[in-house]
Structures are given as structure tokens and as C-alpha cells.
Structure 1
Amino acid sequence: MVDVLVVGAGPAGSALAAACTDLGLRTMLVDRAPHRPWRATYGSWAHELPPLPADAIAARAPTVRAHALTEHQLDGEYVVLHNENLRRHLSRPDIETVTGRAESIMPTEVRLADGRTLRAGLVVDASGSPRGRYAEQTAVGVALPADVLPPGEAIFMDWRLAGDPPTFCYALPLDGERVLVEETSLAHLPGLPFALLRERLHQRLAVHGWPLDHPEHELVRFPLNPPLPRGPLVTFGARGGLVHPASGYSVATALTLAPIVARAIAETPTRTRGTIWSLEARMTHALRRRGLAALLRMPPARVPEFFEHFFRLTAENQRVYLTERENFTGTAAAMMALFRSAPPRLRSAIAFAATSR
């Protein structure tokens, strides 16, 4: 029997398994295909990430722009992770890796589809997003030549040509030769179909005069607002509710939390869930879920205007809302600042959306 068994060999599970091993815990990592490549593109604000080797970063964008009703330059550097090198950084020879599909995951036991039963002092489920009827973020992306964006630049959101339902363009460098351009639905219930996003993406590429004949690079679909985990099983990463309800980001949070959670497992296993979800984190998450609920109910024509006022907030307010998961007061202040700055018609839309059922 091992000390820790982590189910799921994605970035979150791999980071936690590595952190546990670094503390001397006997660690097992279980996945149906533990060595398959990580295909998703993981972007993050640089300040969110823990210290990483230089080669774990595939690209950097010191200049980050956003377009709503007007253009904005955002504060901070945006980075794209190098999946292969990040995975190598999180690999440990002492981790016992098991190939198998988990059919039953319990606090100290995992049963695999082939009949094997694996036991541990503590099981952590990091097997990815839960299934259910939740608001989803969806996107279709293509890789284009690097010269479609100025060097060192990323587009965080471009709400021009937003449409109904509204979608935006997200563009960032993948390396020195390619940029990823995605048409993204920030949140919709149910998630928008890929066919619609493809159509919107082609329209946007045509408007910008960008190449239309490149194969798809990425399809994205994941839930934004599943309930926080309950019960005795420890969960982590997207399975553990770490997806930001407003942005969809989770990997940087998981990488940062992994050593902290591993320390809790090593010292006081019964406090592990409270370490991941402190009261402050739960309160902050609840506020962000209210913000997501308001966005889901907002009239489509008001969405670009809403983000115009978000991007006019101070850099501190933007940073707190987008990246600080244990700052209830700061998150509430950012939300109130946006509401106060909005014109009456937008305030009415926000208030109605936030209070509707």
C-alpha cells in the first residue's frame, strides 16, 4: 500500500504526485493512458505560476491587448506552457505509474476496470472535469503563421464581431513560428456547438485577412460551474473545482497549490480538503459563480459593453478578480467598482441578471 494514490496524469495530477514524492511520500499515479501527450494549450498570467524551468515556457507575450467597445492594453505578461517540458519537469522516477481505468474511486481505495484494487493511505481524484449539465466554455482554434500578430503580443479577448450568442477571439503565440487563434464562447448553457464556432472563426479570419486554409489545432469544451466537491474523497485540479468560473483557467492554480496540498497530506491528511478549499477560497469562488450567473443571463448585446467596463477597471482590480482565489474582499471590491462605473442601462442588465432565477 502506498501513502498517496493520485488518479489522473494530467498537469494537476502530475504536479501533485511530484510534490508528494518530493516530500518522501510513497506515491502512485493511475491513468488509463498515463504517457499520452497533453494536447491542450495552457496559457496563464506569468504572476500566477510557481517558479518553473525556463524551458517549461513555450512563449511569452509581454504585451496583452483586449478589445470590447474600445481597445485596452492589460497589465502583466501572458505565457504559454511547453507541455512536453513541463511534463518532464513534473516526472519523478520514484512515482509508481499504473495504467488502468478507475471504475470506483474511494478515499483509500481505487478499483480498476480490469478487476484490480489499489489501496493507499489517501486517494486524490484528479481525473479531470466532472460530467453534468453545467455552463460550458467552448472554443475552436487554428494555428496560423506567427506574423498575424506583432511579436510578443497576445489578444486576451476581442469582442468585436461578438454575435448572438456572443463569442470572442483569443490569440496568443505558441512558439516562434505559430500563433493560436481561437473563437471562444466564454460561457453558455449548454455549450455552443463547434460548428457555430467554426463559422464565426472563419468570418473573423476573413475580416482580418488572415489565412483560412489551416487545419484545426484545438477543440475546447469544459464545464465552468459544477458544484464544489463534497464528501470524504479529496479531489484536485478541474475535478476539484479549481476552474475559475469567469475565465476557465485552472492549471496555474493547480501547479501553485500542489506543494501546499502535498505538505498537508504529509503532515495532517484530514485537513487536506480544507487546505484546498479554505473558507476564504469558498467565499471568493461563490462570488465568482454569481458573476458567471449574471453573465449567462445578460442580454447578448450588453456583453461587450460589460467587458468594456471590466477592462477599464484598475490593474489591481482586474488582477484580483482574474487570479486571486483567496481574496473575498478584493473580489467584491472589483465587482462593485465595475457596477458603479457602468451606465444605468448596463447596471440594470447586471442587476436583473444577478437576481434572476
Structure 2
Amino acid sequence: MMFVSISSAFALSNRKNCCSSSVLSFRTHPESTHCSLRRIELVERPTHRSKTRDVPRQLPTFFRTRPLRFRATRSLPFSLAPGLSVVASVRSGESVEQILESFQQVKPHPDTDVVVVGCGPAGLAVSYLLAEKGVQVTCVGSNPATRWIPNYGVWLDEYLPLGYPLSCLSKTWSKTSLYLQPDGRNLVMPREYGRVNREAMQIELLRRCRDAGVKVIAAEVSGVTNPPSTLSSASSSPESKGEAISLVQYADGSQQSARTVVDATGHGCKLLKFDREQSIPQQHTTYGWSVPSSQRDQGVQVAYGIEADVEEGHGWDLDEMVLMDFRSNFLSSEEEQNEPPTFLYVMPMSKTRVFVEETSLVARPPLSFDWAKKRLYKRLESLGVKVTHVHEVELCYIPMGGDLPIVPQPTIGFGGAARLVHPATGYMLTRALSAAPPFANALASALLQKPQLSACEVSQVGWDAVWSVERRREREFYKFGMEVLLEMDYSETRIFFDCFFSLPEWTWHNFLAQNLRRPEIIQFGLRLFISLPNRIQLKLMQAGVRDGGPALLASLLAP
């Protein structure tokens, strides 16, 4: 039986705590180290009574305490956070490049069931889930080996049920806090939060695609020719099959036919049609980009973040992630009154390393990165945090709200391309990963069990799974929340979130996850409205009259 002992470097020096079987010892890389263990049965040190625990829930806490031993039973990917050492009999993990080399590097097959355009989390998740059900899938990206840029944060109670390993999280925190009071008092919530290890998640999804038989290819899609939208089931007969498919054109001149195409290219949404143009604006105003009048209903979340070394004594609890720090005592009275509210997002990695991000929750027009950068460093200076070295800079630009793609249309959207991002918070990763299984189930059922369906009818099934009529009604409520936030200054924003997080946990929890159904939305809205002070209630009513509140209420109450 193979044993593994994991501990801090200090504890490893005490050899009596390690197992006696032959082992290979190594230390993790400062950034991250990946290895592949088997499924592990957790056993506490011999000085304590042995017992088995569920590893994904308990492992982060144990990493910070005492040495452990693990008994291997079956395969499970695994990785360690920076600063930990491992004594184990393991094999080296695969890199993104090694996994991509294992795919057959050939031109696309002339025809397939589904072409998924985009090799981000949404595209890869949909690809492997479809392939596992027997659908022939080609996943296309201009460069699938490109490292993912965003820093994804997830609630553990939402992430773990999705079935992805703990190795895809680089660090977890057992508590989450918010600073919503000017005097510095914070609200601490005992809800676990995690930071996604981007490389590990990319490797995990690519590995699943490979194991399921997905063809991942590097190619540039120049366009898609879809069948007429009036195509009927009758025209999907074998005699007219050539007319009932979508044709994907590649930049090198090659083509590939597919029964349906999924656009998972993110907010760029290269292949989808909208009622109005949604291109990213490029011109700057004082605080950000100018937005054409045709995009007035689209807000944007902008954030400037850094992962940096800081002098020891930064003051943040290493077991507590700061979701929002809305304190504004580092601003002058004029700045606080006239400039858009922003908050600090903090992931303390160690005593001398942090990820901090100055975030504009939503603004219209969006703030510029230079403006957010200046505010971040001004805030850090006021907190007495001195940056000694910057490892990474993150520039975050997330379109929020705005129009949905035209539904239905022959090409199906998913992920950011389908506007799955939360209109009021900017969260999307767990939303996309949790929406992928039902989407793949519906699409696979249509493709495999109903071969007589035309390409347009298949796309209708896909769109219904992404944006049903019910989901679209619910989204209007979240968009209304975005419009309300756009109207608030610093003081009002703090009061609003103080009341929001004072509601029963299930209400704000499900609001953030976009899991509130219509009856719950009405209950949530009433609870929040009653808890707010009169001046913010008045602002909500004014926004409701201006932004279609009566129509929204009628839609929510409709059968």
C-alpha cells in the first residue's frame, strides 16, 4: 500500500512523522507544482485517533495545521499550494503543451456533430461533456495553449458540487469579510472561498477533453455559414442533408460541416448576432471609455489588480478573504462625493504576498485602468501596505447587462458570448460550469436521439437550455439591480450592501449565484426593499419608473 505524507517544510524535518516506505521527496515550485496522486484516504498522525475524512472539504484547513498521511486507492489529480513540501511516490503532472501534443494535430475532419469555437473554461467544459455522451466534437481555438488571464474566485459550496478536483484551487479561505462601515468594522461570514489555479483548471479541462475524444485544434475561424432559419424538419432528410448543416470556414481556406456550432469565444462573441452592436468601446473619457448611445444599457466592471510581494505585517488575516472593502477614508470629501465608488478585493496568500484588486463593480461609462491603478495604490498607502515587487498585473474588463444575443439564431452562444455573466456582480465561472451539464444534456439528446432535426431546430434546443423564457425574465431582475447600483454614491452603496448581506443567507447566496427563481425573486426584492432606509427606497422607486419597473414586475408575476 502506498502512503503519502504532506506537511510544511519545517514538519518534514521531523522524520518520525513520515512513513517508512520508500518515497521520492521534492519541494513545490514557488509558483505552483502539479502532481498526480490517486484518490486519497485521509489519516491523521499516529498520535491521534485515525479517521477518514472527505478530502475536498477538509484538505485546505489541514494544510495549514499538521502533517498528514494519505493512503492511495484510485486516481485523482492533485496539486499543492506554494510553500508546501511533499513526500510521495508520484508521477510528474502534465503541462498544457504536453496534453495538446497528445491530441492528433491534424486538420479538422470534413464533418462533425458540433464545432465549439473557444478554448476557455466554458468552451472546454461543453466540449468534453458533449463528447462523453457520444457526440462528435471539434473544439477550436486560435491558440489553445494560451494561458488564461483572469483570476477566478469561487465559493467552495458552489465549486465543489461541480465535480472538479481541489487541485484546481491554489488557495482557500475559511472566512469571507466585507468592510461596509466607515469606521473600519468588518462583517465576517463563515463561508469558504477559493482562488482558482488557472493552469491547473486549464490542464484538467484539456485532459477531460482528450479522454472523452474531443478534437482540440489550433485554427482561426473566419466565419460560419448557417442554413436558412426557415428550414423545416422535412428538409433534413438525407437527400437535403447538405442544406441542413452549418459550414465553418477557417482562415487557411479549409471548411468543416457541423450539425450545429457553439460560440464560446467570450465577450468578443465573434459569431453571434445582436439587436444592437456590442463592440468594446475604445475612446477614453476622464474616467474611462466613452460608450455610444446604442450601448447605453450595458454596464462594465473594470478592475486593476496585482499579485505582489509586500512588507510583512500587511494586516490581513491569512484565513480570511476580503470580498469587498468599501472604506473611503483615504479619499477627500470632494473625491468621495464626485467620483465613482470602488472597492478593494483582497486574497492574502501569505504574510508577504497578496493579490489585491481595485474594482468598479459596475459603471457607465467604464473607468480606465490607469484611474483604477492610481486609486489602488492610494488605498494601499493609506492601509500602510508597501509593495516591494509585482509578480503579475491583471486588467479586468467585464461587460455586464446589455442585450442578449438574438434568440434563437443558428449559432448557439455559451459562456461570456451568451452573456451568462451576472449583470449585477460580474461573476460567471461557476455559472458557466454549472450551466454546462444541462446544456450539453439537451444538445446531445437533440443530436443523438432526434437525427431528423434540422440545424436550426437543434440550435433552438440549445438556446432554450441557455436562455429559456423563464431565465430571460429572471435576468431582467438582475439587470435592474445593476441599474440601481449605477445610481449610488459611496455612502448609499455601503448602506445597500450592509442591508443586502443582513438578509437571510439563502437569499443573497442565491442572488449571487443567479439561482433565485421567480417566486424567490419577488420575496427577495420585498425583503431587501423593506430593510433599506427611505432615501434608498425612493431611489429604487425612481429607478423602477425610469427603467421599466412596472413591466418587469408584470413579467415576474406572469404565469
Range of TM-score over shorter length = over 0.9
Please name the residue that 1:119 is paired with: 257
Does the C-alpha gap of structure 1 residues 18 and 64 become closer, same or farther in structure 2, counting only changes over 3 Å?
A: same
Please name the residue that 1:268 is paired with: 446
1:206 to 381, 387, 392: 381
Deviates more, 1:207-216 or 1:179-188: 207-216
Q: How many Å apart are 1:176 and its aligned residue?
A: 9.1
Q: How many Å apart are 1:338 and its aligned residue?
A: 1.4
Please name the residue that 1:166 is paired with: 341
Paired with 2:263 and 2:112, the residues of 1 have a C-alpha distance of 15
Q: How many Å apart are 1:313 and its aligned residue?
A: 1.5
Q: Which fold has the larger relative contact order, with Cα–Cα distance below 8 Å and residues 6 or more apart in sequence?
A: 1
Paired with 2:149 and 2:252, the residues of 1 have a C-alpha distance of 27
Check conservation: 1:156, 1:170, Cα contact below 8 A. yes
- Extract structure 1 runs of 4+ deviating beyond 4 A: 173-177
Which blocks of at least 5 consecutive residues in structure 1 are unaligned?
Answer: none
1:234 to 412, 419, 429: 412
Check conservation: 2:343, 2:359, Cα contact below 8 A. yes
SS in 2 for 1:190: coil
SS in 2 for 1:224: strand
Q: How many Å apart are 1:195 and its aligned residue?
A: 1.1
Alignment of 1:214-293 (within 5 A): 214-215=389-390, 216-230=392-406, 231-232=408-409, 233-269=411-447, 270=458, 271-293=461-483
Please name the residue that 2:90 is paired with: none
Paired with 1:314 and 1:25, the residues of 2 have a C-alpha distance of 43
Alignment of 1:157 onto 2:342: no
SS in 2 for 1:304: helix
Does the C-alpha gap of structure 1 residues 176 and 87 become closer, same or farther in structure 2, counting only changes over 3 Å?
A: farther
Q: How many Å apart are 1:280 and its aligned residue?
A: 3.0
Does the C-alpha gap of structure 1 residues 351 and 71 become closer, same or farther in structure 2, counting only changes over 3 Å?
A: farther
Alignment of 1:98 onto 2:217: yes
The TM-score, its normalising length taken from structure 1, stands at 0.93
What does the per-residue CA deviation read over 1:10-52, in whole Å, with 9 as the maximum and x for residues that have no partner? Answer: 1110111111121121111111111111121111111222121
1:17 partner letter: S
What does the per-residue CA deviation read over 1:123-148, in whole Å, with 9 as the maximum and x for residues that have no partner? Answer: 10000114433211000011134863
2:221 partner letter: A
Q: Is the radius of gyration larger for structure 1 or structure 2?
A: 2
> Identity over aligned residues, as a percent?
29
SS in 2 for 1:293: helix
Please name the residue that 1:2 is paired with: 112
Please name the residue that 1:320 is paired with: 510
Check conservation: 2:247, 2:258, Cα contact below 8 A. yes
1:71 to 186, 191, 195: 186
Instruction: Report how many residues are paired.
Output: 357
Paired with 1:174 and 1:22, the residues of 2 have a C-alpha distance of 36
> What root-mean-square deviation, in Å, do the aligned CA atoms of Structure 1 and Structure 2 show?
2.1
1:137 partner letter: Q
Check conservation: 1:10, 1:38, Cα contact below 8 A. yes
What does the per-residue CA deviation read over 1:70-102, in whole Å, with 9 as the maximum and x for residues that have no partner? Answer: 521235211111111112221222221222222
1:296 to 486, 498, 514: 486
Paired with 1:12 and 1:173, the residues of 2 have a C-alpha distance of 28
Paired with 1:264 and 1:315, the residues of 2 have a C-alpha distance of 32
Check conservation: 1:144, 1:211, Cα contact below 8 A. no
Deviates more, 1:76-85 or 1:269-278: 269-278
1:319 partner letter: H
